[in-house]
Amino acid sequence: MLEIARLVEGSDSFELDFLEREATPEPAMKLGIRLHLAGLSTSDTVSILDSLGVDRCRSTVHNWVQKADLQPTDGADPDHVEVDETVIHLNDERFWLYAAVDPATNRLLHVRLYPTRTQALTEMFLAELHEKHLVDDAIFLVDGAPWLQAACHRHGLRFQHETHGNRNSVERVFREVKRRTNQFSNCFSHAEAETAENWLQAFAFAWNQLI
């Protein structure tokens, strides 16, 4: 509950651009979004909102998270960047979650969800990361995946092969993502890839608020 309390304390740190189409008060929406992203299921989130006099259904909370369009903020200037990918199950298909983490702060810098993993997609991910953050002088920590190393070389980024050590940060993020998706096994059922990616980016925003 400590993590939830910390996340709720900063409830004014993001804007909701869709308010004109919503009947729910803004503080209640922000609370619902933050409670869910902090680890509560949509059912538990709805129960807490109901105790506060806000009667909404689970799909409404889900829609708030989608409409909020939350993602990690831009402009970081890390010394090192961990980049890795892991499998995310969406319905009966496998997708690949790419993530970049600053190991000094454990903050997520960028996340994307792709239907496969290739050098071209990895290069696209790194190009987007470069647009958002100051990573020209950073050292990229990657595992032995040839597509990761080739993509770093293609972009002229300094990198080193590291299996453990500082790469524990990105593994920690992946463990938490998998814990959440296992705990709420229907999280990505009957969902489009865009919906899942929006949730993962919102999760990244919340993760950065908690650490």
Q: What is the SS3 assignment for 18?
A: coil
Max Cα–Cα distance, the chain, nearest Å? 55
Average pLDDT over residues 154-169: 79
Contact 204, 72 (CB under 8 A): yes
Which pLDDT band holds residue 19 (cuts at 50, 70, 90)? low
Domains located in the chain, CATH noted: 2-68 (no CATH), 80-210 (3.30.420.10)
Of residues 113, 112, 101, 110, the one with CA closest to residue 169? 101
Q: What is the SS3 assignment for 49?
A: helix
Tell me whether residue 178 is exposed, middle or buried, using C-beta atoms within 10 angstroms of its C-beta: 0 to 12, 13 to 18, 19 or more. Answer: middle
Measured distance CA(87)–CA(170) in Å, rounded: 14
Measured distance CA(54)–CA(66) in Å, rounded: 19
Which DSSP category does 89 fall into? E
Report the pLDDT value the prediction gives residue 184, as an integer from 0 to 100.
Answer: 46
pTM exceeds cut of 0.85: no
Average pLDDT over residues 14-21: 67
Tens of pLDDT along 69-113? 888 999 999 999 999 998 888 888 889 999 999 999 989 999 999
Which DSSP category does 154 fall into? H
Q: Which tokens hold the place of 181?
A: 């998706």
Measured distance CA(39)–CA(176) in Å, rounded: 10
